[in-house]
Chain A
Amino acid sequence: MIDFCNVSKVFNTDLLKKDFHALKSVTFNIPEGKTIGFLGANGAGKTTSLKIAMDFIRPTSGEIKYNESLGKNKLEAFKNIGYLPERPFFYPHLTGLEFCHYMGALTDLSKAEIESQVNVWAIKFKIDFALNRHIKNYSKGMLQRIGFLATLLHNPKLIILDEPLAGLDPIGRKELKDIIVQLRDEGKTVFFSSHIISDVEEICDSVIFLKDGEVVFNGSVDQIMKDNIKPETRISYFDGDSLLTEVIPNNKKEEYLSKLLKDGKEIVSLQAEKPTLEEIFYNVKKN
């Protein structure tokens, strides 16, 4: 839905200091109908990429293209995009409901439409009890929820979230992840950044991994797991009362197992050694 074409961004904060290349010829596209995780360590350039996608800052070179399905021009496209910034900050003196009315009116929704949307989503986000409170009294998790809610008011086709799960407790993470899954099931495209790989593993169809401003992996989660399965087997067994675990190369597996059986050990589990995305990405090398 959005194409990044060789997008580079150079920051020069100080005349005396060297230029800083935050993004280096980043190229990828956000496929329609998929949930995509945008991964990378702190400072990898995720937020910078999203700011460029939203035209808050301009790339030093390269360009962003909005697909026809979003709209003919930037403004039309923005009608179909819901964007949640990183560490969202709101108008402290407005109530949650007023904030929703503000945001809804800016996306050409009528008062009635906003009301009905808020009624539906506030319950799902468990924020309905606080709609009439001033935003300055919201907790961090509540801010994240009202912000997420506001990005969905106008029923956007593409939802871009910058670290939507940051700062939430385990229950909150679970609830928001469930909402993302629901959005995916409704056929929305969700693009969200995170550095917590397990979250992405859980709910994404594919991942784009950014490292020091470069895309080092772009593909489906299944693919990357298949590519990285090691030819090893993890065997757990009881030796007397103690549970032991060993990792054995696949070619020695049968030999080792028959030895265990002969010795009368009780085998508990046998599993192909499967790395987590975590492990894969910490070892991801440029091809």
Chain B
Amino acid sequence: MREINKILTIAKFTFKEIIKSNILVNIFFLGLGLLLVTYVAYSFTYGEPARIALDFGLGTLSLSSVGIAIFIGSGILAKEIDSRTVYMIISRPVPRYCFILGKVMGLILVLIVNVLLLSTLTLSAYFFIGGEFAPILMWSILFILFEAIIALLVVSLLSLISSQTIAVILSMIVYVLGHAIDGVKLTSMIAKNKVLESIIDVYHFFLPGYYKLNLKEHVIYKQNIELDYLVNNTFYVLFYSLFLITLCVLTFNKKNLD
């Protein structure tokens, strides 16, 4: 019970620290820019402005969330270790795993705030222009949050085993690959090549399948999507996150904090 309180305390102050570092102002301006772009698109396109509003909105939401996850996430552990603020925490009766969980949770809270703010804006613009509600809208926003959480865990883990810069670069590569891999698998040329195929299978097993969380096409073109698919991928996120968190904790437990 005590441990949970400590995790929550660390999460709370991590959240406070990030929020106070003016990130909210940045998100606000991003949102403002978003509204502006939507307005311009609305004024100049014929046809389907609502679809465009959604396209821009979800795109910005996803990029900003992953951006926050990767850029701030790369620092939440690495910076604490470099600047030795971590000493202040683990010199108290706080097990090391609590530190990791608290830090990650704090940044997840920031991600949630970002998603809430920007999706509210996007949806308001969309409804204002005359878009219609569909449950998949909510799913796609949720999946964007999932995507950012996985990116956060990936970058946290990488920042524990390499440097902050390398962690950022690798995370971006993994992000791009994780989205591309679905398309690659479908290419018939590769499907015929057994070796490549098994490489990709291995990849699938270890690296995050970001493509599973991309619902944008479905949303924008209102394609039907089965509930099974959504639920399965939610479980995928759950297990994959647990896997990453466990690796983070094990790495951090072993780490020399110089």
Chain A positions within 8 Å of B, measured between CB atoms, are: 51, 54-58, 75-76, 78-79, 81, 83, 85, 87-91, 93-94, 98, 102-103, 105-108, 147, 150, 154
Contact = CB atoms under 8 A, between A and B. Distances in A.
Interface string B9-33: 1100100110011000000000000
Contacts of A81: 91
Given A56-B256, A75-B95, A94-B17, A102 B87 contact: no
A71 B102 CA distance: 25
B127 to A, nearest CB: 36
A94 B14 CA distance: 10
Interface of B: 2, 5-6, 9-10, 13, 16-17, 20-21, 83-85, 87-95, 256-258
A91 B85 contact: yes
Contacts of B10: 106
Given A93-B21, A102-B9, A106-B92, A85 B16 contact: no
A147 B91 CA distance: 13
Contact of B13 (A54, A75, A78, A102): A102
Nearest to A78: B93
Contacts of B9: 102, 105-106
A98 B14 CA distance: 12
Contacts of A85: 84, 87-88, 91
B47 to A, nearest CB: 46
A54 B92 CA distance: 10
Given A89-B83, A106-B94, 12 more contacts: A51-B258, A54-B90, A56-B256, A56-B257, A75-B95, A79-B92, A85-B88, A90-B88, A98-B16, A102-B9, A107-B92, A108-B93
B16 A88 contact: no
A89 B13 contact: no
30 contacts: A51-B257, A55-B90, A56-B257, A57-B256, A57-B257, A58-B256, A75-B95, A78-B92, A78-B94, A79-B92, A83-B91, A85-B88, A85-B91, A87-B84, A89-B85, A90-B85, A93-B16, A93-B17, A94-B20, A103-B88, A103-B92, A105-B6, A105-B9, A106-B9, A106-B89, A106-B94, A107-B92, A107-B93, A147-B88, A154-B92
A51 B255 CA distance: 13
Contacts of B91: 54, 56, 78, 81, 83, 85
B92 A56 contact: no
Contacts of A107: 92-93
Contacts of A56: 87, 90-91, 256-258
A48 B2 CA distance: 30
Contacts of B16: 93-94, 98
A220 B54 CA distance: 75
Contacts of A78: 91-94
Q: Quick one: which of A88, A93, A107 has the most chain B CB within 10 A?
A: A93
